[in-house]
Structure 1
Amino acid sequence: MNDGVNGVALAVFIFFFVLVTAMGFLAARWRKAANEHSLDEWGLGGRSFGTWVTWFLLGGDLYTAYTFVAVPAAIYAAGAAGFFAVPYTILVYPLIFTFLPRLWSVSHKHGYVTTSDFVRGRFGSKGLSLAVAVTGILATMPYIALQLVGIQAVLDVMGVGGGEDTNWFVKDLPLLIAFGVLAAYTYSSGLRAPALIAFVKDTLIYLVIAVAIIYIPIKLGGFDDIFAKASEAYSETNPATGAPRGSLVPGEAGQWTYATLALGSALALFMYPHSITATLSSRSREVIRRNTTLLPLYSLMLGLLALLGFMAIAAGVEVSNGQLAIPQLFENMFPAWFAGVAFAAIGIGALVPAAIMSIAAANLFTRNIYKDFIKPDATPAQETKVSKVVSLLVKVGALAFVLTMDKTVAINFQLLGGIWILQTFPALVGGLFTRWFHRWALLAGWAVGMVYGTVAAYGVASPTQKHFGGSSGEIPGIGEIGYIGLTAFVINALVTIGLTFVLKAFKAPEGIDETRPQDYTADAGAPVVSTELPLDTADTADTADTADTADTAADGKH
Structure 2
Amino acid sequence: MTLPSSALAASGTDGVNGVALTVFILFFVAVTVMGFLAARWRKAEQSANLDEWGLGGRSFGTWVTWFLLGGDLYTAYTFVAVPAAIYAAGASGFFAVPYTILVYPLIFTFLPRLWSVSHRHGYVTTSDFVRGRFGSKGLSLAVALTGILATMPYIALQLVGIQAVLDVMGVGGGENTNWFVKDLPLLIAFAVLAAYTYSSGLRAPALIAFVKDGLIYLVIAVAIIYIPIKLGGFDAIFHEAGKAFAEPGPTGKPRGELASGPTNQWAYATLALGSALALFMYPHSITATLSSRSRNVIRRNTTILPLYSLMLGFLALLGFMAIKAGTETHGNAQLAIPQLFEDMFPSWFSGVAFAAIGIGALVPAAIMSIAAANLFTRNVYKDFLKPAATPEQEHKVAKLVSLLVKVGALVFVLTMDKTVAINFQLLGGIWILQTMPALVGGLFTRWFHRWALLAGWAVGMIYGTLAAYGVASPTQAHFGGSNAEIPGIGQIGYIGLTAFVLNVVVTLVLTVALRALKAPEGADETSPGDYTADVGDKGVTPDLPPATADVPAGH
Between the aligned partners of 2:76 and 2:480, the Cα distance in structure 1 is 17
Instruction: Tell me how far 1:465 sits from its aligned partner.
Output: 1.0
Aligned to 2:245: 234
Aligned to 2:260: 250
Between the aligned partners of 2:187 and 2:430, the Cα distance in structure 1 is 28
Aligned length: 532
2:139 to 118, 128, 134: 128
CA contact under 8 A between 1:439 and 1:510: conserved in structure 2?
yes
CA contact under 8 A between 1:416 and 1:469: conserved in structure 2?
no
1:196 counterpart letter in structure 2: L
Aligned to 2:400: 389
Instruction: Tell me how far 1:467 sits from its aligned partner.
Output: 2.8
Q: Please provide the CA RMSD for this pair.
A: 1.3
Aligned to 1:332: 343
Aligned to 1:420: 431
2:61 to 50, 63, 85: 50
SS at match of 2:402: helix
Deviations 1:255-301 (A, max 9, x none): 11100000000000000000000000000010000000000000000
Aligned to 2:281: 271
Establish whether residue 453 from structure 1 lines up as the match of residue 457 from structure 2.
Answer: no
CA, structure 1 residues 540+217, in 2 after alignment: closer, same or farther (shift >3 Å)?
A: farther
Establish whether residue 515 from structure 1 lines up as the match of residue 519 from structure 2.
Answer: no
CA contact under 8 A between 1:481 and 1:487: conserved in structure 2?
no
1:358 counterpart letter in structure 2: S
SS at match of 2:425: helix
Within 5 Å, give how 1:7-406 maps onto structure 2.
Answer: 7-238=18-249, 240-319=250-329, 320-406=331-417
SS at match of 2:14: coil
Between the aligned partners of 1:46 and 1:368, the Cα distance in structure 2 is 19
Instruction: Tell me how far 1:476 sits from its aligned partner.
Output: 6.7
1:308 counterpart letter in structure 2: L
SS at match of 1:144: helix
1:286 counterpart letter in structure 2: N
Between the aligned partners of 2:410 and 2:486, the Cα distance in structure 1 is 33
Deviates more, 1:458-467 or 1:312-321: 458-467
Within 5 Å, give how 1:456-535 maps onto structure 2.
Answer: 456-468=467-479, 470-475=481-486, 478-524=489-535, 534-535=538-539
2:462 counterpart letter in structure 1: V
2:152 counterpart letter in structure 1: M
CA contact under 8 A between 1:116 and 1:368: conserved in structure 2?
yes
CA contact under 8 A between 1:40 and 1:46: conserved in structure 2?
yes
TM-score relative to the length of structure 1: 0.94
Instruction: Tell me how far 1:162 sits from its aligned partner.
Output: 1.2
SS at match of 2:420: coil
CA contact under 8 A between 1:413 and 1:469: conserved in structure 2?
no
Unaligned runs of 5+ in 2: 1-10, 545-555
Instruction: Tell me how far 1:469 sits from its aligned partner.
Output: 5.8
Between the aligned partners of 2:502 and 2:133, the Cα distance in structure 1 is 23
CA contact under 8 A between 1:409 and 1:462: conserved in structure 2?
no
CA contact under 8 A between 1:415 and 1:469: conserved in structure 2?
no
SS at match of 1:435: coil
CA contact under 8 A between 2:133 and 2:526: conserved in structure 1?
yes
Between the aligned partners of 1:236 and 1:161, the Cα distance in structure 2 is 31
Instruction: Tell me how far 1:477 sits from its aligned partner.
Output: 6.3
Instruction: Tell me how far 1:389 sits from its aligned partner.
Output: 0.2
Deviations 1:176-201 (A, max 9, x none): 00000000000000000000000000
TM-score relative to the length of structure 2: 0.94
Instruction: Tell me how far 1:534 sits from its aligned partner.
Output: 2.9
Deviations 1:122-143 (A, max 9, x none): 0000000000000000000000
Between the aligned partners of 2:93 and 2:541, the Cα distance in structure 1 is 42
Between the aligned partners of 1:297 and 1:129, the Cα distance in structure 2 is 34
Identity %: 85
Aligned to 1:552: none
CA contact under 8 A between 1:84 and 1:262: conserved in structure 2?
yes
CA, structure 1 residues 368+315, in 2 after alignment: closer, same or farther (shift >3 Å)?
A: same
Between the aligned partners of 2:497 and 2:17, the Cα distance in structure 1 is 43
SS at match of 1:307: helix
SS at match of 2:418: coil
CA contact under 8 A between 1:64 and 1:349: conserved in structure 2?
yes
Between the aligned partners of 1:470 and 1:419, the Cα distance in structure 2 is 11
CA contact under 8 A between 2:295 and 2:535: conserved in structure 1?
no
Unaligned runs of 5+ in 1: 526-532, 545-558
Between the aligned partners of 2:227 and 2:541, the Cα distance in structure 1 is 47
Between the aligned partners of 1:37 and 1:469, the Cα distance in structure 2 is 43
